A and B are shown apart, each in its own frame.
Chain A
Amino acid sequence: MLEQQIVNAISLGSVYALFALGFTLIFGILGVINLSHGGIFMLGAYAALLLLTRVNLPFWAALPLAMIGAGLLGLAIDALILKVLRKRGAPHLMPMIATIGAAILMTSLAQGLFGSETRRFPIDLFDQENLTFGSISIPLLQASITGLSVVLMVLMIWILRRTRLGQALRAIAESPRAAALLGIPVERLFHLTSFVAAALGGAAGILIGLSFDAISPFMGQPMLHKGIAAIILGGLEAVRAAVLGGLFLGATEVFAVTFLSSEYRDALSFGLLFLVLLWRPQGLFGAAATRSA
């Protein structure tokens, strides 16, 4: 029983972490709080749904295509909104408000196109098999969700830590101006970051849609709150914070449902957020450092 809940916590937490990772990439590298990340998350799920049900693609093809679609949406938001504000040297509040607008636009667009009712992925997407490890049995669906999130996160962390591209991105996170003067094509990497972050957000949308067996135009907003909570819980230290905070939030929710009741789920996790802000503003896992990016 407890083992099963731990598996659930890791599974849910890893998807939160994936969502928060995309959100934090934009924050760390572009220096923008992108409040349309929840909208991208939601449209990513719908894109996969369309590819699965209308185009009849298999899941392994629909997932990357929907991620590319979400990525292009993120790229469009960067090119049409954020870039314009950057060029104008607009204060931080402006991209935040502009992306709220983009999020509302996406939600009502989804309502108009797909209707307000909750939709589901096809039931036969994954075999109803279980993977059994000793006394724990993990449904194949849950194992796939966790596996995909972990693979995407490890890939991102590897790129950021170990590659020349990642080094350029970390340089931009610290100082876009200094990076540009060293010959790093900052604008191009802003676009790339927007694409990748949105693709990760779209992937998280698909995995959450699978995990809760529900897709709706309104799924983005609560997820956005959770993403922000995850990076604050983790400590605003970009990648590590997003991952640890996401896992922690997932665990809190699962255990709140297990030991209290599902009504208290959000009350507990956001109550915890307040406590962290009061007593440990650098986050549960963060060093007491400030970020300049």
Chain B
Amino acid sequence: MLALHRISHHFGGVRALDDVTLTVEKGGIQGLIGPNGAGKTTLFNVITGLFRPSEGTLSFEGHNLLQMPPHRIATCGIARTFQNIRLFSEMTLIDNVVVGMHARLAYGTLGWMLRTRAFRQAEAGARQQARQLLERVGLAGHDNELAGNLSYGNQRKLEIARALAAEPRLLLLDEPVAGMNSTEKNEIMSLVKSLRQDHMTVLLIEHDMRFVMGLCDTLAVLNFGHVIAQGSPAQIQANPAVIEAYLGQEESA
């Protein structure tokens, strides 16, 4: 469904991504792991159109993403969360989620000006749906709190709810459980598993190995901008190149 072919991206002289070829198959949960600075978030930024790669091709369900600005890519059915949370902190929880629906709800100018019946129904439906999403990520009953007042773990949950509001076919999660306690991690794990039943495809970056190994169907490992291994969690855990990459990091740390 998503295919990256020979993608390279430079920052000045640094090759953040170097000849990356990667495919994401429909319906699975794929993990992207690697040491800090390996280029994982850069890869997400390339997929979502924030960075234009220096070389390579990138397609999603037949669309050439390299021709599209970020908001068009979003309307194609790709949603994401951020490693450093980017909520609208001065908006309420429910408004944050409703904003996430922009990708699929066209807002006709005349509709909101005249407050037509159809518009008001769509608006009420959107809020109802937003409430269900908040419930699904475990934030029920906080609808009208400001997002900025949430705890760190809850902000991550809200970001996921906002991304789900777009009803994406491909969901990119950038370190979804960073900073969470183990109870919260388990909640997110079962939430992501439930997305599989909704036929959503997930690509996630995460450093928590228990989370990654317990959740992902396939893994890709990135190191210094290269894909050094791909395969099932068991294959990756036994891969010498991967072990070296991680041990090397520990030495230098």
Chain A residues close to B by CB (< 8 Å): 163-165, 167-168, 170-171, 174-175, 177-187
Contact, CB under 8 Å: A177 / B71: no
The prevalent SS among residues of A at the interface is helix
Tell me how far the C-beta of B115 lies from the nearest C-beta in chain A, rounded to whole angstroms: 9
Contact, CB under 8 Å: B70 / A171: no
Interface check B150, CB cutoff 8 A? no
Chain B residues with CB under 8 Å of A168's CB are 99, 102, 107
Contact, CB under 8 Å: A180 / B71: yes
Contact flag A187-B69 (CB < 8 Å), given A177-B86, A181-B80: yes
A181 to B104, CA, bound (A): 13
Q: List 27 A-B contacts (CB under 8 A).
A: A163-B107, A164-B112, A165-B107, A165-B109, A167-B91, A168-B102, A171-B99, A174-B89, A174-B90, A175-B86, A175-B88, A177-B50, A178-B82, A178-B87, A179-B71, A180-B69, A180-B71, A180-B74, A181-B70, A181-B71, A181-B79, A182-B74, A182-B103, A182-B162, A183-B166, A184-B71, A184-B99
Number of B interface residues at 8 Å Cβ cutoff, please give it. 31
Chain A residues with CB under 8 Å of B206's CB are none
Interface check B155, CB cutoff 8 A? no
Tell me how far the C-beta of A240 lies from the nearest C-beta in chain B, rounded to whole angstroms: 12
Among A163, A178, A183, A186, point to the contact of B88 (Cβ < 8 A).
A178
A177 to B75, CA, bound (A): 15
Among B70, B87, B104, point to the contact of A180 (Cβ < 8 A).
B70
A185 to B102, CA, bound (A): 9
Among A167, A177, A185, point to the contact of B99 (Cβ < 8 A).
A167
Tell me how far the C-beta of A144 lies from the nearest C-beta in chain B, rounded to whole angstroms: 24
Contact mask B83-124 → A, CB, 8 Å, 1/0?
000111111000100111011110101001000000000010
Contact, CB under 8 Å: B99 / A165: no
Interface check B48, CB cutoff 8 A? yes
Tell me how far the C-beta of B108 lies from the nearest C-beta in chain A, rounded to whole angstroms: 9
Which residue from chain B places its CB closest to the CB of A186 in the assembled complex?
A: B71
Contact flag A179-B99 (CB < 8 Å), given A164-B123, A165-B107: yes
Contact mask B36-64 → A, CB, 8 Å, 1/0?
00000000000011100000000000000
Chain B residues with CB under 8 Å of A171's CB are 88, 91, 99
Q: Which 6 A-B pairs have the closest CB atoms?
A: A183-B103, A183-B74, A180-B70, A164-B107, A178-B86, A163-B112
A168 to B107, CA, bound (A): 10
